[in-house]
Chain A
């Protein structure tokens, strides 16, 4: 057991730090999720590409940087320390669609799409969830009928972040009408400009506008866009894990550690409930802040352990759900504490990307119980796949 980095790894950290110091955008990400934020996200992706830092977990043969697990960890630690931007609209392409293509696509699909994703030419979105297929993802009903060399798609997807600004979508469809559950699904690359696609933004309780519904009315997609085999979509959708080592999580943990430090700083300067002394002099606030600091520090240790374990195993196990659950709970209790500390000053809405955006952060924190699988699904995974408790579903 050690926390040592080799001389090569330390030199790598210096290299990363120097590059980020020179290239991280100084202006904040534009408010809202319109064309400005698309351009901002793509420009930052392009800057990383030009600097040789795009696709850090992607193998070099596909244009990525092919960093080792430890180098990825260093990259994300430095990325967060440098206040580099949230990945935003580039998330699905870089972290989900791209890795799935690398794992399962044919050469033509790879050579067309992978460079475009890396260069920040295109935005991808994810078309998995449906109104009847949320936590129960295998209940997908959007259907595709083979017609010659095309699939004809009819149905609806929902909770699709950035669908209104995306060029492509990773789309999971039911191609076998007789099938059920995980069988008979197909993973396909959908061109979002195809006729018959309508997107409708869904506004969220934190005033975000990235969420969308997507409707498909006899949308024609070439069969050559199918990745893997027709009917094998579930396994293709799961293959994204092949490049995942859990290192990206370190950036979130460092960001949140800094946010908690900001909150502690705020408590040193804001007057507390007695109207005289600072908040930090109040036992309740001081200890709630201390508990938060203890929890984020512990999550960092859990992430280091998970990364160490994933590196040995070559892929992540179900333990990742423990980090997701612990981190989601922490975000919510942190936001709640900020609201308590601010009293009536918490009544003003401030966007979470702006300084003092505590109310925006609090509103956003409700989403941490849903994104990437609800708390309840994470607890099922931990209970069944980590602890071995009996299942109660098909």
Chain B
């Protein structure tokens, strides 16, 4: 038993972090709340795909790097820390889906970054199988050819053109978002959860991204608390600030520990792995939200501006908390009380 990353896993995370700091640094948006133009620079997207970020956990037999959900989890934690745009979550999940459905060509095309996939989170009841029907909240719409739709029973890819997506003005302005409706759309590929638990994988990876948000925004708060002097001392000296930072640290560490535990459980089929993943998503979303609130408050008026960085994390935490499953739906899964099916 060892729940700390091994040397190789640490190295993957460090390599990803170094690339992101260099190539996709986190910047304040100033007045530019909403991205204009492509969601992610085409060159950077291709480079990330070439680095294997979309195929990290895919078996080598399916053209992947051959690592597992654990390494993917560590990648997504870094993507969350860097509030990186781009359809990484649906891309990774869709490559797994295509591979599990036996369409290796599609899996490798998606993993190469050549075909982008959007993510459709069900709004109300959505039927997912050979045909897909229902309302969807669609993220990473920009330049996507397919939409990944999944729940705890199955997952499917459908053509985005068949989903009638209307783009909205999103709160998280770096991620292109819309509403879609699949009206008995025929799936390109689909797979049931017993064959490949795409939804549960997604919960772990979204949890990892929210963990990264919770950690990075805490670091901003701590740096500001060490720097900002009022009443003659750095404000982090005062317990009102210090203790809030400590609570934020407990939340972030808990999120990271649970994301790690859940990733190992899902990878190795240990215990109640689906529940572990739901718990990981719930605690990470909570930590991300609470830490964003704390970081804005600790930054004072500066925290309310779009020139300081906390707002970027506020937006991302808001989106992640509405990705794949809501807080209430996660809690109902955790207690074994599925309202949708009752």
CA distance A291 to B337 in the complex (A): 13
Task: Report the bound CA distance from A388 to B70 in whole Å.
Answer: 29
How many A residues are at the interface, by size bracket? 35 or more
Question: Helix, strand, loop or mixed for chain A's interface?
Answer: helix
Cα distance A298–B275 when bound, in Å? 12
Which residues of the other chain, A, contact B264 by a CB distance below 8 angstroms?
1-3
A73 on the B face (CB < 8 A):
yes
Which A residues lie within 8 Å of B153 (CB)?
none
Does A30 touch B at the CB level, under 8 Å?
Answer: no
Q: How far is the CA of A291 from the CA of B278 in the complex (A)?
A: 11
In the bound complex, CA of A305 to CA of B270 (Å): 17
Contact with A287, one of B2, B255, B265, B335 (Cβ below 8 angstroms): B335
Query: Which of A286, A297, A322: most chain B CB closer than 10 A?
Result: A297
Query: Contacts A1-B2, A1-B9 hold; do A326 and B242 have CB atoms under 8 A apart?
Result: no
Residues in B neighbouring A388, C-beta threshold 8 A: 222, 226
**Cβ-neighbour of A392 out of B1, B233, B247, B334 (below 8 A):** B233
Chain A residues, Cβ within 8 Å of B253: 302, 305, 319, 322
Check A294 for interface membership: any CB of B closer than 8 A: yes
Q: Does A382 reach chain B (CB closer than 8 Å)?
A: yes
A312's nearest neighbour on chain B, judged by CB, is B4
Chain A hits for B279, CB < 8 A = 293-294, 297-298
Cβ of A70: which chain B residues have Cβ within 8 Å of it?
A: 1
User: What number of A-B contacts does a CB cutoff of 8 Å give?
Assistant: 156
Of the candidates B2, B237, B250, B262, the one whose C-beta lies within 8 Å of that of A322 is B250
With A3-B3, A298-B254, A298-B258 as contacts: A390 and B237 at CB distance below 8 Å: yes
**Are B246 and A383 in contact, with the CB atoms below 8 A?**
yes
Q: Is B260 an interface residue (CB 8 A)?
A: yes
Chain A residues near B245 (CB-CB < 8 A) = 382-383, 387, 389
Interchain CA distance A336-B46 in the complex, whole Å? 53
- Chain B residues within 8 Å of A287, by CB: 328, 331-332, 335
Cross-chain contact B247 with A379 (CB below 8 angstroms): yes
- Given A297-B258, A389-B236, A390-B233, check contact A5 B1 (CB 8 Å): yes
Query: Could you tell me which residues of chain B, from 240 to 272, have a CB within 8 Å of some CB in chain A?
Result: 241-243, 245-247, 249-250, 253-258, 260-265, 268, 270
Interface 0/1 of A296-328, CB less than 8 Å to B:
011111101101110110000001001001100
A4 within 8 A of B: yes
Asked if B239 lies at the interface with its beta carbon under 8 angstroms from chain A, I say yes
Is the C-beta of B66 less than 8 angstroms from some C-beta in chain A? no
A301 with B258: in contact, given A1-B4, A286-B331, A383-B243 (CB under 8 Å)? yes
B interface bracket (residues with beta carbon within 8 Å of A): 35 or more
Q: Does A256 contact B (CB under 8 A)?
A: no
Does B53 sit at the interface, judged by CB under 8 A? Answer: no
A217 beta carbon closer than 8 Å to chain B: no
Given the complex, which residues of B lie within 8 Å of A2, measured CB to CB?
1-2, 264, 268
Q: Nearest residue in B to A297 (C-beta to C-beta)?
A: B279
Across the interface, which residues of A come within 8 angstroms of B249, CB to CB?
322, 382, 386-387
User: Which B residues between 292 and 342 are near A, CB-CB below 8 angstroms?
Assistant: 328, 331-332, 334-335, 337
Closest partner residue, chain A, to B281 (CB atom): A294
A339 to chain B, nearest CB (A): 19
Given A3-B1, A3-B268, A389-B226, A305:B331 Cβ within 8 A? no
* A383 to B243 alpha-carbon distance, docked (Å): 7
Known A3-B268, A301-B254; contact A293-B242, beta-carbon cutoff 8 A? no
- Name the residue of chain B whose CB is nearest to the CB of A309: B4
| Interfacial chain A residues near B5, Cβ < 8 Å | 1
Q: Which residues of A contact B247 (CB under 8 A)?
A: 325, 379
Closest Cβ of chain A to B262, distance in Å, is 8
Q: Which of B1-54 contact A (CB under 8 A)?
A: 1-6, 9
Q: Is A391 an interface residue (CB 8 A)?
A: yes
B78 within 8 A of A: no
* B225 part of interface (Cβ distance < 8 Å): yes
Which chain B residues lie closer than 8 Å to A5 at the CB level? 1
For residues 92 through 130 of chain A, which have their beta carbon under 8 Å from a beta carbon of chain B? none
Please, which residues of chain B bring their CB within 8 A of the CB of A294?
Answer: 279, 282-283, 331, 334
Given the complex of chains A and B, what is the CA–CA distance between A369 and B101 in angstroms?
53
Please pick, from A73, A308, A311, A389, the residue contacting B225 in the complex, using a CB distance under 8 A. A389
A380–B238 Cα distance when bound, in Å, is 10
Would A376 and B335 count as touching, CB distance under 8 A? no
Using CB atoms and an 8 Å cutoff, list the residues of chain A in contact with chain B: 1-5, 70, 73, 264, 280, 283, 286-287, 289-291, 293-295, 297-302, 304-305, 307-309, 311-312, 319, 322, 325-326, 376, 378-380, 382-384, 386-392
Extra A-B contacts (5), CB below 8 Å, given A325-B247, A382-B249, A386-B249: A299-B254, A382-B246, A387-B246, A389-B225, A392-B237
Can you list 13 A-B contacts with CB-CB less than 8 angstroms, sorted by A residue number?
A1-B5, A3-B1, A3-B264, A287-B331, A301-B257, A301-B262, A302-B257, A307-B1, A307-B3, A326-B254, A383-B236, A389-B225, A389-B241
